Structure 1
């Protein structure tokens, strides 16, 4: 059987996927038929300098991503990779300066330091029915009580923060030079108005920050080219390939399993346990 040159070329093309998890980064190479060609995983720690604190060093996460990417490319030429896509743990919080560098370690979803702020917010949160706008209950994993904690304990960091982002926003900003947050990941902050699809000004103002301190919003299939820089140098990936913004690991698990209709449920057991079911409204 004759194989056309175009068919041979397409069979050699690969998609690189990066899952930024809580305790590790998982990287896969897929061919265009959807078959997995290589996988790798690198672990990184969560630090607890005080009770209820759960912090991570973004440079350790970046190093883990680079290590895993290099591992999957050790037997496949980087020139075969035609696109890169990301997903991420939800509910991470990171304050950046104007250079895009952290002002404070990353808070992941396990951080519960804002319990006192949570209690003081409860009455206002219920009275203003924020849940029916953002779809999330009042909880320590969301940004509102966390930002109020920063306002109380590190006001200069919050005031001087250029942007308030998630770990995926930071990573993609560093490797593309473009700063956006997809709707899926944004919904995990608890500050997204689900109906207007924008940062909710009233919610944000409760933390005494500005919507200008949050990134422009985009669809998960939004993409920009990979720029020349430390990441291309460290991994061998070719500059210019499209980097797809992706979204949150939980919602994407439902999508990947085809469980996105009412009364269909996905149970995920990893660093956390989660049960997720889709509905039309909160």
Structure 2
């Protein structure tokens, strides 16, 4: 029996699932789209359930002609800076602010004033940005305190999906 690997790329507009032979040859690929909700000029959100449904749909499509035991592994990559706030059970508390969401500009400015752009770069290798997760968490603290108080962890998109699949909140860099 041939053996396969599955790779998912959870992007801004959809999940692209690819089935590879164990030798690395692309066998099949399928993209399942989902929506991004843009509003208030600089808000951009997605629903975790849309991600999940897209992953299920794309996986079913690429494996429909093979035996399940032929799949040796599955991997995930995803859009960066999608801030998924979850409770202790791993449930998303609200729609996800994706990388394109810029509403936390005020929090970015306050963080830059307090820490300094150069120091932030020394700490994490990035300049301050309203698209990054720390600024988004600060926005929740300032504008959605009930979400902030109920947040157990913040996960990135791929990490949320891995948590949903395995029950473990694991982050890979």
SS at match of 2:6: strand
Deviation at 1:178, TM superposition (A): 1.3
State the partner residue of 2:16: 26
Q: Which runs of 4+ in 1 moved over 4 A?
A: none
- 2-side partners of 1:22 and 1:127: how far apart? 28
Match of 1:3 in 2: none
Match of 2:88 among 91, 98, 104: 98
Structure 2 distance, partners of 1:144, 1:121, is: 9
CA distance in structure 2 between the partners assigned to 1:104 and 1:35 by the alignment: 39
Change (3 A) 1:120 1:79: same
Does residue 60 (structure 1) correspond to residue 50 (structure 2)? The answer is: yes
Can you list the C-alpha shifts for 1:12-51, whole angstroms capped at 9, x where unaligned? Answer: 0111111111111011111111101111001101102422
- Match in the other structure for 2:28: 38
> Could you say what secondary structure the match of 2:147 adopts?
helix
**RMSD of equivalent CA atoms:** 1.4
- Tell me the SS of whatever aligns to 1:48: strand
| Aligned match of 2:105 | 115
The Cα of 1:127 is off from its aligned counterpart by: 6.9
Q: Highest CA radius of gyration, 1 or 2?
A: 1
> Is 1:14 equivalent to 2:4 in the alignment?
yes
Does residue 174 of the first structure (1) align with residue 164 of the second (2)?
A: yes
Q: Is the 8 A contact 1:41 1:68 kept in 2?
A: yes
For the residues of structure 1 that align with 2:32 and 2:168, how far apart are their CA atoms?
25
Task: State the SS of the aligned residue for 1:137.
Answer: coil
Alignment of 1:1-282 (within 5 A): 9=1, 12-126=2-116, 129-182=119-172, 184=173
Separation (CA, whole Å) in 2 of partners of 1:54 and 1:67: 23
- Contact map agreement 2:36 2:45 (CA 8 A) in 1: yes
Secondary structure of the 1:129 match is helix
TM-score, with structure 2 as normaliser:
0.94
Q: Distance in 1 between matches of 2:125 and 2:115?
A: 12
The CA distance in 2 between the partners of 1:106 and 1:99, in whole Å, is: 17
Cα deviation, 1:120-173, whole Å, max 9, x if unaligned, reads 222223177121120000111112221111111111211221111111111101
Q: Identify unmatched segments of 5+ residues in structure 1.
A: 1-8, 185-282
2-side partners of 1:45 and 1:37: how far apart?
27
Aligned 8 A contact 2:3 2:70 in 1: yes
Aligned residues: 173
**Residues of 2 paired with 1:44 and 1:99: CA distance?**
25
